[in-house]
Amino acid sequence: MERGKQSFWLKAGVLSALLLVAGVAHAQFLRTSYFMEGSHYRMQLNPAMTPTRGYINIPVIGALNASVGSSSLGYQDIMDVIDDDGNFYNNPEFLGRLDNTNHVNLNINTDILSAGWYRGRNFWSFNVGVRTDLGVKLTKSLFTFLNEMDEDQDRWRNSAYDISGQEVNLNAYAEVGLGYARQINDRLTVGGRVKVLLGMGNLNLKFNSVSLDASLPSDARIQELQNMSSISPSDVESLRREIDGYHADLMLDARLESSFKGLTLQESSDGYIDDIKFESGDLGIAGYGFGIDLGASYRLLDHLTVSAAVLDLGFISWSKGSTQVATAASSGISLRGSDYTTGLDASDPMGSVAALRENMNRLQADAENYMNRVSGGDVLDYELLELRTEDVSESRRSRLASTIVAGAEYGFFNDVLSVGVLSTTRFVEPKALTELTLSANYRPKNWFNLAVSYSAIQSLGKSFGVGLKLGSLFLGTDYMFLGKNSNSINAFIGISVPIGQKKRDCCCL
C-alpha cells in the first residue's frame, strides 16, 4: 500500500509542536500541589488557596507543566499514533488494548511572567501565560479498517466499514490574568481571577459520518470481461445480472473549522484540500476572549477544611479573517452496477461486446478512483475526505475548557501533617476528564513541603504522584512515568523567589 499521504492527526501534532517551539503551551494544574500550603502553584486550582508568602516566578520556567494521557493506550502507543509510521496498527497487542472509543489528550502550560504578594489580608497575583490543549477521539473501527486494508491489498473491493466518530480539537491561547483573594475571617477565604485571552489558534475536525461499502470485481474479472470477443443472448442477461450486483459507496459527513494566523488550507487542482501549510513566522492573534476563576476555602472544624472552585469560565471569539471552514458532505462516491450495463442488449450480441468493453473500462477507472480514496493507510486521511473549502460569513466562538474543583483536608499536629481528597472535572474536548486524588502532605516549614498522591481514574489506578518544594524549587507529578505502558504521565517544574512578609493572621490589618 502506498504511504505518501499525511494525516490530519499528524498535522495537528505538528501544529502543536510548532506552537510549543513558539512558546505556547496546558496541563492547567498539578493536583498533588493542592494541599501544599507553602506552594503558590495550588492557586492554579483554586484562587482562594493562597500561599504562606508572596512570590515572583522565574520567567517561562517558573511554572511549566506538561501532560499526555489516554483512556486506553500506553505512552508508547500514543507516540506510535503520532508518528503514524504504518506499523503500529498491524500489531495485535496494540489492537487488543483499544476500547471501542479511545481518547488522547496532550496538554502543556507555562507562565511567562507571574507574581503574587500580600497586602494586609488581601493577596494579589498577576500572570502572563500561554496554554495549548490537544484532544483526539479515535474509534477502534478506524484501526481495524487500517489493519485489514493493509493486510489484504484487495480488501477494498469487498468490504464494509463505518469509521465515523473521529475528532481532533486543538486550542491555543495566551492569557493575561489578575487575581485577588481575601481572608474574610479565621475560617473563610475567597478568591477570584479575571483573564483577558489572546487567541493563537483553534482547530476542530469531526468525522460526523464516514462509511464505505463495496462489492466490486477483481482486476482479473474486469480484464476477462474486457477481452470477450463474443456474447450469446443468454450471456448478455447473465452479465447484466452480475454487473447490476456491483456497487461502491463512500458516504461522508465531515467538517473542519480552523482559526489560525499563518495556517493555509491548500487546494489541489481538483478543488479539495491536499495539504496544510503552516508558517510559524506568521503566528499572531486570531481572536480575543475573556475568562474568570472563582474559589473559596472554609475551615469547617478546627482541623477540617473544605474548598471548591470553578475555573476557566469564558470563551474566545475567533475573527472571520483568520477562520477557514471545509466540509466533505458533497465529495462522496456512489457507484451503481446498473450504470455500467449501458448498451447490453440480448437482441444485439455483437453490439453488446463493444458496450461491455466500454462499460468495463469506465468501471475500472471508477474503481481505481474509489481504491485511491479508501486505501491511503493514514489515520484521519484528508485524501479520503476530499474536504472542500467554504466561504466564511462570520466569526466563530469556542469555549474554554472549564474545570470544577472540590476538596477536603484534615490536619494533624498543628497541620504539619494532613490527608486530603480532591475531585476535579475538566471539560476538555472531545470528552470531559474526571479525576479523584488522595494525598498525604508533610509541611514543617514554608521552604520545605512534601506530598504523595494517588489519582485513581485517569491512570487506571496504575500510578502515583509526588510533589516537593525545596526552597525556590518545586518539582511534581500527578502520574509518575513507570514505563512505556503508562497511559497518563505529567511533569511540573517551578522556580520562584519568595517576597514580602509571611501570611498575616486574619485579625491583623
What is the secondary structure of 297-358 as a DSSP string? Answer: EEE-SSSEEEEEEEEEEEEEEEPGGGEEEEE-TT--EEEEGGGG-TT--TT-HHHHHHHHHH
| Residue 440 pLDDT > 50 | yes
The winner for highest mean pLDDT among 240-249, 252-261, 329-338, 369-378 is 240-249
Tell me the residue length of the chain.
509
| Residue 432 pLDDT > 90 | no
Q: Which carries the bigger pLDDT value, residue 71 or residue 224?
A: 224
Give DSSP secondary structure letters for 2-35.
-----BHHHHHHHHHHHHHHTT-------GGGTT
End-to-end CA distance of the chain, in Å? 74
DSSP state, residue 188: E
Are 43 and 28 contacting, i.e. CB atoms less than 8 angstroms apart? no
Query: What's residue 379's pLDDT?
Result: 61
Which region among 92-96, 188-192, 462-466 has the lowest average model confidence (pLDDT)? 92-96
Query: What's residue 504's pLDDT?
Result: 63
Predicted confidence band at 72 (pLDDT cuts at 50, 70, 90)? confident
Query: What's residue 71's pLDDT?
Result: 78
Give DSSP secondary structure letters for 427-445.
--SSS-EEEEEEEEEEEEE
Please state, in angstroms and rounded to a whole number, the distance separating the CA atoms of residues 373 and 328. 13
Please state, in angstroms and rounded to a whole number, the distance separating the CA atoms of residues 171 and 202. 4
Q: What is the pLDDT of residues 129-175, one digit of tens each?
A: 999 888 888 899 988 888 888 878 788 899 999 999 999 898 999 99
Q: What is the mean pLDDT of residues 316-338?
A: 89
Which region among 183-187, 240-244, 387-391 has the lowest average model confidence (pLDDT)? 387-391
Are 11 and 273 contacting, i.e. CB atoms less than 8 angstroms apart? no
Backbone angle region of 277, left / alpha / beta, with phi > 0 → left and psi within -120 to 50 → alpha: beta
Q: What is the mean pLDDT of residues 212-222?
A: 94
Q: What is the mean pLDDT of residues 262-273?
A: 79
Q: Which carries the bigger pLDDT value, residue 454 or residue 375?
A: 454
Q: Which carries the bigger pLDDT value, residue 360 or residue 459?
A: 360
Angle between helical axes of 349-374 and 233-244 (0-180°, round to 10): 20
| Residue 509 pLDDT > 60 | no
Query: What's residue 6's pLDDT?
Result: 42
Q: What is the pLDDT of residues 344-354, one digit of tens each?
A: 998 888 899 99
Q: Note the CATH number of domain 8-502.
A: 2.40.160
Q: What is the pLDDT of residues 223-238, one digit of tens each?
A: 999 998 888 888 899 9
Element (H, E) at 43: none
Which region among 3-12, 258-267, 362-371 has the lowest average model confidence (pLDDT)? 3-12
| Residue 15 pLDDT > 80 | no
| Residue 428 pLDDT > 90 | no
Please state, in angstroms and rounded to a whole number, the distance separating the CA atoms of residues 509 and 499. 19
Q: Which carries the bigger pLDDT value, residue 381 or residue 36?
A: 36
Helix (H, G, I), strand (E, B) or coil at 236: helix
C-alpha cell at 367: 474503481
DSSP state, residue 61: T
Tell me the residue ranges of DSSP E strands in 216-260.
247-260
Query: What's residue 272's pLDDT?
Result: 81
Query: What's residue 83's pLDDT?
Result: 65
Count Cα atoms within 13 angstroms, Cβ side, for 80: 16
Question: How high does pLDDT run on average in the chain?
Answer: 85
Q: Which residues pair with 298 in a beta bridge?
A: 188, 306
Query: What's residue 340's pLDDT?
Result: 95
Helix (H, G, I), strand (E, B) or coil at 80: helix
* Cβ atoms within 10 Å of 506's Cβ, excluding its own: 15
Give the global pTM: 0.82
| Residue 260 pLDDT > 70 | yes
Q: What is the mean pLDDT of residues 9-19?
A: 41
Please state, in angstroms and rounded to a whole number, the distance separating the CA atoms of residues 179 and 134. 26
Query: What's residue 177's pLDDT?
Result: 96
Query: What's residue 377's pLDDT?
Result: 62
Query: What's residue 85's pLDDT?
Result: 58
Whose CA is closest to 366, among 116, 93, 224, 157? 157
Q: Which residues contact 161 (CB under 8 A, 6 or more apart)?
A: 141, 144, 145, 211, 212, 213
Q: What is the pLDDT of residues 391-414, one digit of tens each?
A: 888 889 999 989 999 999 999 988
Query: What's residue 378's pLDDT?
Result: 64
Please state, in angstroms and rounded to a whole number, the distance separating the CA atoms of residues 507 and 183. 10
Are 367 and 337 contacting, i.e. CB atoms less than 8 angstroms apart? no
Q: What is the mean pLDDT of residues 354-367?
A: 94
Are 489 and 455 contacting, i.e. CB atoms less than 8 angstroms apart? no
Side chain identity at residue 280, one-letter code = S
Give DSSP secondary structure letters for 249-308.
EEEEEEEEEEEETTEEEEE-TTSSEEEEEE-GGG----EEEEEEEEEEEEE-SSSEEEEE
Please state, in angstroms and rounded to a whole number, the distance separating the CA atoms of residues 486 and 54. 36
Give DSSP secondary structure letters for 341-363.
-TT--TT-HHHHHHHHHHHHHHH
C-alpha cell at 122: 488581601
Whose CA is closest to 240, among 369, 362, 350, 355? 355
Whose CA is closest to 462, among 439, 441, 438, 485? 485
Predicted confidence band at 431 (pLDDT cuts at 50, 70, 90)? confident
Q: Which residues contact 450 (CB under 8 A, 6 or more apart)?
A: 441, 442, 443, 467, 468, 469
